[in-house]
Amino acid sequence: MLLLAFTLGWLSLLFALARLADSRPSWQRLSEHPLVYAMSLGVYASSWTFFGAVGFARTQGVSFIAVSLGPTLACLLIPAVFLPLLRLVRRHQLATTADLFAFRYRSQALGVAVTVAMLLGVLPYLAVQVRAVATTAVALVPGLDPHVVGFSFCAVMLVFATLFGARHATTRERHPGLVMAIAFESAFKTLALLAVGVVAFQLDVTPTPARVEAFLEPARTGGFTSVLLLSVGATFLLPRQFHMAFTEAPEGERGERALRRATWAFPLLLLVMNLPIPLVLWAGEALAPQADGDLYVLLVAEKVPWLAPVVWLGGVSASSAMVIVASLALSSMSLTHLVLPWRRADDPDVYGTLVRQRRVVVGLLLLATFVVFLALDHTGGAQARGGALAQVGLVSFAAVLQLVPGLVGVLFLPRLSSAGVLAGLVAGLVTWGLLLALPVIGLSGVALPGWLTGHDALGVSALVSLTLNVLAALVGSSLAPSSAVELRAAQLCRDEVDSLSPGRLPASLEGFVDRVARVLGRAAARVEVERVTTELQLSRDETGAAALQRVAERLEANLTGLLGPVLSHAALTTEGDEVPGQLVPLATRLQLLEEEARRGGSAAAEALRAWLSNVFASLPVGVCVVSPQGDAVWWNDAWTTLAGAPKPEALRQLPSVGELVVGARTLSVTSAEVTGEGPLPGGRVLVVEDLTTRRALERTMAHQERLASIGRLGAGVAHEIGNPLAGLLMVAQNLAAEEHPVDLRERLGDIVEQGRRIDDIVKALVTFARGEQQGGRQPRLVFLDAVVRDAVSLVSMTKHRRIEAQLEEGLAVQGVAGELIQVLVNLLSNAVAASPADSVVTVTARRLASEVELVVSDQGEGMSAEVQARLFEPFFTTKDPGQGTGLGMSIVYSLVTAHHGHLAVDSAPGQGTRITLRFPAP
């Protein structure tokens, strides 16, 4: 009971510290200190290091050091691998390794696979933390039931995990309190271990040479190297390490600084933590040769009355920190990749649901941890072989190792595909399960033959699983290569690495000016580079790679605000290639030039002046600046073209506002006062604009409008004529049917025939007008014979030429009847107008394989090549002024195109014209 109260008190202290860091800005700043960050990475040292390192050293000898030397090696890779990774996960808000893989390989399945792999790999590791707490509690207070202790620990962890981290919906939320608490417990457990080391030192035990010999054995047989390499992989890829190193890293530049500082600070922390281990081992072996090595730390601590509870708390801190961070990280993964894909989209309280689900997932994880703890206890498993904590830990590392090929793909191999990585992960995991996981939890797995493993079964098994993983990844990637989407994501990831590559940076500051000049121009480039060198307090002839790298980073940051990230990155990293000019906003360039000119840059001022005068020269209106005395002082080319060279007397005659006719041109004139600026006096600016085209356009519009109103009138009249005409025809037909003399019957027949002709014309007019009035195009099946008949009737009204129609029966196209009639009316009108009085205009239509062909041909004057070239231009006409608008053929062209058809012209002067239209068959 006392132990429980003591433990709860300690955890509450940690929690109070966390609350303080969450709420007080000054504490929050402290949590972002690089050293606090490095200390928080000490969550790596779980109870495995705290209690287990000595037990591991007892059974595996010198290999215990490899577990902490691995992170030291991994930290050497921070600048090359983990800084780019930090930027990547920051930029794309990736909270876990599963997010990272799903993002890079664009595969939800891979996210699920990574989550499952991490759950399988880390759950037993969590369970041994619980067991470490239970075993040490029983050692301290004999008679306690380890299962009750284990369950209580899991329950307390659930409460604290919820309080610490599972309070937010998003996994990207930083928890300064958590970072502070973890850093504090890291410091505490290090001090506790050092204290035990001091006690062990005072016991003054010297190991026998035979013991030392046995201790060194793993270094000779290879066990040391495999543990070393396993822990390199685990340093940043274990879920809890990834969480502390990347998800909880301070924002922005501070995060990168902290990670860089960890390159040495984290290894130093581990070094200090490991210094007492050999001393404690020798002392423990002398004190209790038969006891479990995992309990030696506690055993030695008991030599000093107050130290044992402190060491117990150190162990509880190590375990609880690991359990809390790992369960937060695993819950993020599980929530994102296993739970959320099945969420309901219509949830009104998304954030609340997410927080609740997160808590449920943490609860389930801890429950599963407890179940695995019971299972481990039941089967005996690793316990039988001693060094239990380390055994399970290393198997866990081997599971995490399976992520390494995928991580290499994220940063360095864009060609590695999602299918390949998934295949590799599955192959590696299955091998891992059979060779490593099953034996360690006490079930019979598959054992490799003895000649293969030698003394280092674990290392060789891990290597075999990794080799199969890599092979499957390579084969899978070549059989199922990356999709375009995947390659784009891969490129995004590659860019983070490239941005750090000094090989792609120029050799001097002048080189930066050259590169930036491609985007900003030389003057502005020089200003930007100089600003950065001043900010960084560098000399102008700096050539050191490190300094240039810093210049590149600062320049990229400065330019990003100006040009956006893509362009600023391209400007600094690509060499030689011209940066596409259209990417640089003109406004940005102008703004830069103006700033530069304002600061007195003559080159910038000249560039601005040249640009402005170019703008004036290109104006489509004539501009002339007149001095107060009436002299023209400046004018553009358009002025000379429109109004001739500006002479003072001509300028004086110009109205200040109005219209003016010069030759065939109509010009509008406007003017405005110009105020004086500095040494330059004011004056007047005159603007002339050519109205000729506009006036012609207005006339054509008016003509069109007149024609349209006549059309509407015609349609109205036709409609009104229709009814009396039907009556007349009926009377005439009835009369014609009666008995009459031959002469009278013939005349009645003529009346009926002419009446029907009028009826045809009236109907065609109505159809045509209806098409125009309906406006909206509703394509339907249109029979060509009706279209041709209506068009011929309309054209025959105005000019009497013979129009012969030869149509195959039943031809139809998909379209709008009114528009098709208009096409034919326009074509026939032109044909008729161009034909001599006695000639024949023919319309033929036939079906081709998948098209319907309509041909209008005449025997008229034909067209020259020049006329044909401009045939479809709006307002182009060969008719006399007032006779045609020049719009007919352009309307034909646009209507035929709107019907998905195409048209061909075959004509020569004196040879007649043949216009062929083809429409898709319905």
Tell me the closest approach of the beta carbon of residue 214 to another protein, in angstroms. Answer: 10
The letter for the amino acid at 915 is I
Nearer to another protein, 213 or 746 (CB): 213
Nearer to another protein, 119 or 249 (CB): 249
Neighbours of 694 (CB within 10 A): 12
The DSSP code for 379 is H
Tell me the closest approach of the beta carbon of residue 167 to another protein, in angstroms. Answer: 34
Alpha-carbon distance of 317 to 126, in angstroms, equals 14
Nearer to another protein, 346 or 541 (CB): 541
212-221, Cβ contacts within 8 angstroms, sequence gap of 24 or more? 214/61, 215/57, 215/61, 215/62, 216/61, 216/62, 217/61, 217/455, 218/60, 218/61, 218/62, 218/63, 218/455, 218/456, 219/61, 219/62, 219/63, 221/454, 221/455, 221/456
Tell me the closest approach of the beta carbon of residue 132 to another protein, in angstroms. Answer: 25
The DSSP code for 385 is G
- For residues 520 and 507, is the Cβ–Cβ distance under 8 A? no
Nearer to another protein, 216 or 869 (CB): 216
Tell me the closest approach of the beta carbon of residue 261 to another protein, in angstroms. Answer: 6
Can you tell me whether residue 56 is helix, strand or coil? helix
Nearer to another protein, 78 or 625 (CB): 78
- For residues 591 and 583, is the Cβ–Cβ distance under 8 A? no
3-state helix, strand, coil in the chain (%, to 5): 70, 10, 20
Tell me the closest approach of the beta carbon of residue 286 to another protein, in angstroms. Answer: 17
- For residues 788 and 807, is the Cβ–Cβ distance under 8 A? yes
The DSSP code for 861 is -
Nearer to another protein, 69 or 100 (CB): 69
CA-closest candidate to residue 476, choices 430, 419, 519, 432? 419
Tell me the closest approach of the beta carbon of residue 256 to another protein, in angstroms. Answer: 9
Nearer to another protein, 83 or 784 (CB): 83
Nearer to another protein, 271 or 840 (CB): 271
Tell me the closest approach of the beta carbon of residue 401 to another protein, in angstroms. Answer: 15
Q: In the beta sheet, which residues pair with residue 624?
A: 635, 686
Nearer to another protein, 483 or 549 (CB): 549
Tell me the closest approach of the beta carbon of residue 407 to another protein, in angstroms. Answer: 15
Tell me the closest approach of the beta carbon of residue 16 to another protein, in angstroms. Answer: 33
Angle at 878 between CA 875 and CA 880, to 5 degrees: 95
Can you tell me whether residue 501 is helix, strand or coil? coil
Nearer to another protein, 234 or 764 (CB): 234
Tell me the closest approach of the beta carbon of residue 486 to another protein, in angstroms. Answer: 24
Tell me the closest approach of the beta carbon of residue 80 to another protein, in angstroms. Answer: 4
Q: What does the longest C-alpha to C-alpha distance in the chain come to?
A: 153
Alpha-carbon distance of 51 to 147, in angstroms, equals 19
- For residues 462 and 398, is the Cβ–Cβ distance under 8 A? yes
The DSSP code for 194 is H
E strand or H helix that includes residue 598: helix 586-598
Tell me the closest approach of the beta carbon of residue 72 to another protein, in angstroms. Answer: 5
- 488-522 CB burial, b ≥16 within 10 A, e <16: ebbeebbbbbebbeeeebbeebebbbebbbbbbbe
Nearer to another protein, 359 or 550 (CB): 550
Nearer to another protein, 76 or 905 (CB): 76
Q: Which residue intervals of 92-222 are DSSP H helices?
A: 97-105, 108-140, 146-164, 176-203, 209-221
Nearer to another protein, 66 or 114 (CB): 66
Measured in residues, the chain has a length of 922
Nearer to another protein, 209 or 724 (CB): 209
- Residue 915 Cα distances to 125, 453, 622, angstroms: 84, 87, 43
The encoded tokens of residue 412 equal 């360095």
- For residues 518 and 505, is the Cβ–Cβ distance under 8 A? no
Q: What is the residue whose two structure tokens read 């595969």?
A: 107
- For residues 815 and 854, is the Cβ–Cβ distance under 8 A? no
Binding site for another protein (CB under 8 A): 62, 65-66, 69, 72-73, 75-81, 209, 212-213, 215-216, 219-220, 224-225, 228-229, 260-261, 263-264, 267-268, 271, 275, 278, 497, 500-503, 536-538, 542, 544, 546-547, 549-550, 553
Tell me the closest approach of the beta carbon of residue 108 to another protein, in angstroms. Answer: 32
Alpha-carbon distance of 920 to 502, in angstroms, equals 61
Tell me the closest approach of the beta carbon of residue 232 to another protein, in angstroms. Answer: 8
Nearer to another protein, 281 or 736 (CB): 281
Tell me the closest approach of the beta carbon of residue 68 to another protein, in angstroms. Answer: 8
DSSP assignment string, 886-903: S-HHHHHHHHHHHTT-EE
The letter for the amino acid at 563 is L
**CB contact set of 408 (below 8 Å; sequence gap of 6+):** 416
Nearer to another protein, 273 or 855 (CB): 273
Tell me the closest approach of the beta carbon of residue 497 to another protein, in angstroms. Answer: 8
Nearer to another protein, 76 or 669 (CB): 76
The letter for the amino acid at 616 is F
Tell me the closest approach of the beta carbon of residue 553 to another protein, in angstroms. Answer: 8
Alpha-carbon distance of 735 to 750, in angstroms, equals 12
